[in-house]
Amino acid sequence: MSYTIPIGPYHPALEEPYKLELVCEGENVREAQLQIGFNFRAIELIAQSRNVTQNIALFERVCGICSNVHTLTYCLAVENLLGIEPPLRAQYIRVIVAELERLHSHILWAGAAAHILGFQTLFMTCFRLREIVMDLLERISGNRVNYAMNAIGGVNRDLTEPQTIRDGVRQIQKAVEGLILPVFGRDPTVRARCADIGILTRTDAIAWGVVGPTARASGVTQDIRQAQPYLVYDRLRFSVPVQESGDVLARVLVRALEMVESCRIIEQALDQLPGGEWKGQLYVELPPGEAVARIEAPRGEVFYYLASDGSDKPLRVKVRTPSFVNMPAVRLMLKRATLADAPLIQASIDPCYSCTDR
Partner 1 sequence: MNIEEIRQILGIEGTPIEKADGIWWHSLGLEVRRMAQYLVQAEARLITITALAADEAECRLIYHWDCQGNLWHLSTLTQGKTIDSIAAICPAADWIEREIHDLFAVVFNGRETPPLVLRAGDPSGLFIANGHVGQESLQ
Using CA atoms, how far apart are residues 349 and 299, in angstroms rounded to an integer? 8
Smaller CB separation from partner 1, 168 or 322 = 322
Interface region with partner 1, contact rule CB under 8 A, candidates 52-60, 179-187, 256-264, 286-294: 286-294
In angstroms, the first-to-last Cα distance of the chain is 38
Residue 40 interacts with partner 1 (CB under 8 A): yes or no: yes
What is the identity of the amino acid at 313? K
Q: Tell me, what amino acid is at 53?
A: T
Residue 46 near partner 1 by CB under 8 A: yes
Q: Which is nearer to partner 1, 41 or 336 (CB)?
A: 41
Residue 207 is a binding residue for partner 1 (CB under 8 A): yes
What stretches of 83-172 adopt beta strand conformation (E)? 150-151, 154-155
Kindly tell me which of 185 and 289 has the beta carbon lying closer to partner 1.
289
CB of 207 to partner 1, least distance (A): 5
Site for partner 1 in 313-342 (CB under 8 A): 313, 315-316, 318, 320, 324-325, 327-328
Out of 231, 248, 293, 342, the residue judged to bind partner 1 by CB under 8 A: 293
Closer to partner 1 at the Cβ: 14 or 43?
43
- One-letter amino acid for residue 200 of the chain: L
Query: Of 150 and 156, which CB lies nearer to partner 1 in the complex structure?
Result: 150
**In 3-state terms, what secondary structure has residue 291?**
strand
- Nearest 10 degrees: CA dihedral of 176, 180, 184, 187? 130
Asked if 309 interacts with partner 1 (CB under 8 A), we say yes
Residues 63, 78: Cα–Cα separation, whole Å: 20
Work out whether 121 is an interface residue with partner 1 (CB under 8 A). no
Helix (H, G, I), strand (E, B) or coil at 264: helix
Strand 28-35, strand 300-308: pairing = unpaired
Query: In terms of DSSP bridges, do strands 154-155 and 28-35 run parallel, antiparallel, or are they unpaired?
Result: unpaired
Residue 155: closest CA among 221, 86, 202: 86
Judged by CB under 8 A, the stretch of 142-150, 270-278, 290-298, 337-345 that binds partner 1 is 290-298
Helices 162-175, 120-141: crossing angle, 10 deg rounding: 170
Interaction between residue 352 and partner 1 (CB under 8 A): no
Q: Which residues pair with 345 in a beta bridge?
A: none
295 binds partner 1 (CB under 8 A): no
Q: Which of 228, 264, 338, 339 binds partner 1 (CB under 8 A)?
A: 228
- From the list 80, 74, 140, the residue with the least C-alpha distance to 104 is 140
Of the listed pieces 64-72, 128-136, 171-179, 222-230, which binds partner 1 according to CB under 8 A?
222-230
Q: Does 127 bind partner 1 (CB under 8 A)?
A: no
Q: Would you tell me which residues interact with partner 1 (CB under 8 A)?
A: 36-37, 40, 42, 44-49, 80, 206-209, 222, 227-228, 290-294, 301, 303, 305, 307, 309, 311, 313, 315-316, 318, 320, 324-325, 327-328, 357
